[in-house]
Amino acid sequence: MIRCDLMILDDSGNLQDACLIAIVAALRSLKIPEHELASDEADGSDAASPAAGASTSTAEVKVRLTGGEPVPFEVERVPLSCTFAVLDKHLLADPTFKEEEVCDGQVTVARLADSVSIRCLCPRCCFARRSLVCHTPG
């Protein structure tokens, strides 16, 4: 497990997207000590094998440092997000802090590999305006 702590120096708006970009950049530049996964003696399976990753076992994975050069951390899937401010009947990409204060709501579209997630935060939007977000041209 990797834990990322962020220190916000300036909130100029669109903080969620900026934090995600910072975390992805940090992980892509991260170098970790060369290591190998040790086998688990309890069930005899090799923790480094692909089949062990699919297991529902709660056995501990043991990591042994090999003492070699640090290796780049592998980021398999990079999440992307884009936040829009809802102003009347318009969507404004990458809103500033002042624009966020006066907007009717926000829409965030996030993507990770093959899945897409849409989050709508429209505290001041009337129901009719939500069609602006949910409309898909067909």
Domain that holds residue 107: 77-134
Q: How far apart are CA 36 and CA 17, in angstroms?
A: 34
**What φ, ψ does residue 54 adopt, rounded to 5°?**
-85, -10
Contact assessment for residue 106 and residue 132, using Cβ atoms and an 8 Å cutoff: no
Domain endpoint, select from 18, 49, 72: 72
Residue 65 has pLDDT above 50, yes or no: yes
Res 120: pLDDT: 78
Assign residue 44 a region (left: φ > 0; alpha: ψ between -120 and 50; beta: otherwise).
left
Domain endpoint, select from 72, 92, 122: 72
Residue 82 has pLDDT above 80, yes or no: yes
Residue 19 has pLDDT above 90, yes or no: yes
Mean pLDDT of 112-119: 80
Name the one residue in this structure whose structure tokens are 């318009």. 90
Provide the number of structural domains found in the chain: 2
Res 62: pLDDT: 83
**What φ, ψ does residue 85 adopt, rounded to 5°?**
-95, 140
Domain assignment present for residue 9? The answer is no
Same domain, 49 and 95: no
Domain assignment present for residue 6? The answer is no
> What is the pTM for the complete model shown?
0.66
